[in-house]
Chains A and B, each alone.
Chain A
Amino acid sequence: MPSNSKKSAVIVGAGIAGLASARLLSENGVDVTVIEKSSGIGGHVANWGCMATSECQVCHCCSLSDIIAALDESPVRFMTGWQLESINTGVGGQLSGVIVVENESRNIREIPADALILSIGFETFDPSSKGLWGYGVLDGVITLAEFDDFIREDRLSELVPDQDAPRIAFFQCVGSRDKSIGANYCSQYCCKAGLRSAIRIKTDKPDWDVSLFYIDLQVAGKYATTLLDNAKDLGIHLVQGVPGEVFPYQGNKLGVVSEKNGLNVRDQFDRIILSVGQRPNPTAADLSRITGVGLDNFGFFRNLEGLDRFRTSEKGIYVAGACSGPMDIETTLTSAEAATADILEDLSNWREGS
């Protein structure tokens, strides 16, 4: 590997995409600074629990701790509580550095940068905007992320405290593939995450009754069949059709109507877990103004196409992870690798040219 020690990169966003990119760039001799708006690193994945039963369910959550362990040994600088303020360009519009500002003190600092990665991730869909699911209105309707806290903190037994054998339902495609809320795209992680969560419950709590309502299960890849087979073997009810309304039923139960065998049937549950999709990070609009990288119709960063899809219209600015479109952890890691490879290629070309 050629040495890029005189080259530097700034990464905006310390989620798994940004951290994976930081590690790979640093390992290849690039001087890396990671800017993170919040006070901690790890993003959404840091709040996600391992889904392993007796076997690994290949959710890739644990990649984060591996990456952080490697970064601990690296010269990568972290600036948490800082945001991108503006960018500097040199001859020919080539990126030369960034100005960052600290949230509280409003201190400003200039950092040289030959490459900038936007890896600000996504925001989870707020299901209260489609009121009939009852999120925020009915107790017991929660999001997949909220459910995941019970797994991560190892307190699944507390999910339904007063029931020995509660009935749990997962609703898929909540906030995905939905024109009515401007999200006419598949979020690509939720079918697998929902299934793994259901499998995790049923493995730990065989007496619980678990249903998963779906439109069609978008589970692709080499582990797809294993996941579906596991779910079926464990007795998870996979039900086609996602109810659009949840109503209070017999006191503290949650009622739904769905179609089974050609009939409308009423069912009731103790908890309904909404597999919420990914929405663009709202700060993408600010960063678009600052960097000149456009947004697509949904509000994700607009990337270039084909082999250049981790590059953007702006020379020296790259995208990694879910800020350019919804993706799961595995795909996010791939995108970080690809963005890093593009940067290394571009940096070595520039050096030869200069």
Chain B
Amino acid sequence: MDDIIIAQNDNAETISNINSAISETCMVCGECVSRCFLNTAYPDMNPRRLIRKIALGRAQEMVDSEFIWACTLCARCTADCPKDLRMDAIIRNVRGMAWTQGKVPARIREGIEKGKEFGNNVGMDSEEFIDTAQWIAEEMEDDAEDLPEGALDVPFDREGAEIFYVPNPREYTSNPGMFQTYLKFFAYVGADWTLSSKVFDITNWPYYMGDQEDAVDLVRLMVDEARNLGARILLTTECGHGFKILRKDAENWLDEKLDFEVLSIIELAHRYWKEGRIKLSKGSVDKKITYHDPCNVGRKVGVFEAPREILREIASEFVEMWPNRKYSVCCGGGGSVGQNSDMGAKRLEHAHYKKDQILATGADVVATSCQNCLTQLGDLQARYEMPVEIKSVIELVVEAIEHDRD
């Protein structure tokens, strides 16, 4: 059995056989026990027990458990672990053992196989992607008078474009409305941007599974394509783990410097607004808005203030959930849980803490900047009939951008 990496730091988040002095790391302080949002759903499991089981040579019990698939890799439990352990990395290691033993949820395995063949988890080829993207753009014709001329021409493979935008497959499958939102954003800001007809999936499902080899391959594809295109910015859509991997892990994984900037679209919007390139209509969204920090965007990368500054500008009222930022409670759908049909509706039952947190704010709108969180929060809204709308930050930005409507 492979050893499990227990001590983790930002540079060591790779799967390898490192002998860990496990008894010298975790000191069973218990901080993580109380911070895990699964501690009521799995009353006999918690992050600390997981580590102790591994320490006692019982990792296989965890490989065969449901707990490792219910975990969302949110890493709130170890956000300030006294010993610097990273639970997301530990769980990915345990899942890596499951992967090598062939014990991986079917739908995820399928997505990974497609990723290896097509470079995207839905198995779409270049031609179909171009057709789909153009069709989604054409569907906006009714709104075209609102948009600058040429806004519906979707650029592909434009060498020398400043921005290489990588979408999430939801945008050209289940949720084309999101893709339209981003197209509008690019049009309003006059972005010098392009899509790639070959690399058009920001997600990285092998990462979820501790399948490091395939995870690195997907990052390699994106990085090489950004260089082929000569882009100065690799722009990630509102996708938590996709953004986090490129921004935080890619250089370590590939062991090379990236010669372009990795930005999330929310950071780009914030930058353009601060530079005066776009104007946001102050208080124009007449709603009480709260912000859900996606674990990857917030706790793991540290983007806390950009979305808040934008939302404070455009909302008539902005309220915080407690806890927030570094201590934000996971939506309950991250880390493959949302994609894993084996977890079924459990992900909604597990997220009662998030539900309570949202209701306590009395907000009309929950904004967030991760499509995974958006889907989960939308499902939570329906499941618990919460009187809130769930919106992406960029959706709200697009609503609030002041533009020439002549």
Contact = CB atoms under 8 A, between A and B. Distances in A.
A137 B33 contact: no
Contact of B44 (A130, A177, A263, A266): A263
B83 A179 contact: yes
Using C-beta atoms within 8 Å of the partner chain, give the interface range for chain B: 20 to 34
Given A258-B34, A262-B44, A215 B27 contact: yes
A180 B80 contact: yes
Contact of B35 (A216, A241, A244, A259): A244
A130 B323 CA distance: 12
A181 B33 CA distance: 19
A246 to B, nearest CB: 8
A137 B28 contact: no
Contacts of A242: 29-31
B32 interface: yes
B27 A264 contact: no
Contacts of A343: none
A40 interface: no
B192 interface: no
Interface in B48-71: 48-49
A242 B83 CA distance: 14
Nearest to B85: A179
A131 B84 contact: no
Contact of B30 (A132, A177, A244, A262): A244
A240 interface: yes
Contacts of B31: 242-244
B30 A180 contact: no
A174 to B, nearest CB: 11
Contacts of A137: 322
Nearest to A255: B34
Interface string A229-260: 00000000000111111000000000011110
Interface in A91-116: none
Residue in A131, A213, A240 with the greatest tally of chain B CB atoms within 10 Å: A131
Nearest to B39: A264
Contact of A132 (B27, B44, B323): B323
B327 interface: yes
Contacts of B84: 179-180
A173 B40 CA distance: 25
Residue in B34, B48, B77, B327 with the greatest tally of chain A CB atoms within 10 Å: B34
Given A179-B83, A179-B84, A243 B44 contact: no
B46 interface: yes
A178 interface: yes
Contacts of B30: 213, 215, 240-244, 258-259
A257 B34 CA distance: 5
A131 B43 contact: no
Interface string B303-337: 00000000000000000001100110000000000
A104 to B, nearest CB: 40
B28 to A, nearest CB: 7
23 contacts: A132-B323, A177-B27, A177-B29, A178-B80, A180-B80, A180-B84, A184-B82, A240-B28, A240-B30, A241-B30, A242-B30, A243-B31, A244-B35, A257-B39, A258-B33, A259-B46, A259-B48, A259-B49, A264-B40, A264-B42, A264-B43, A264-B44, A264-B46
Given A215-B28, A258-B30, A259-B30, 13 more contacts: A173-B82, A179-B84, A180-B84, A215-B30, A240-B28, A243-B31, A243-B33, A244-B30, A244-B34, A245-B35, A259-B33, A264-B42, A264-B46
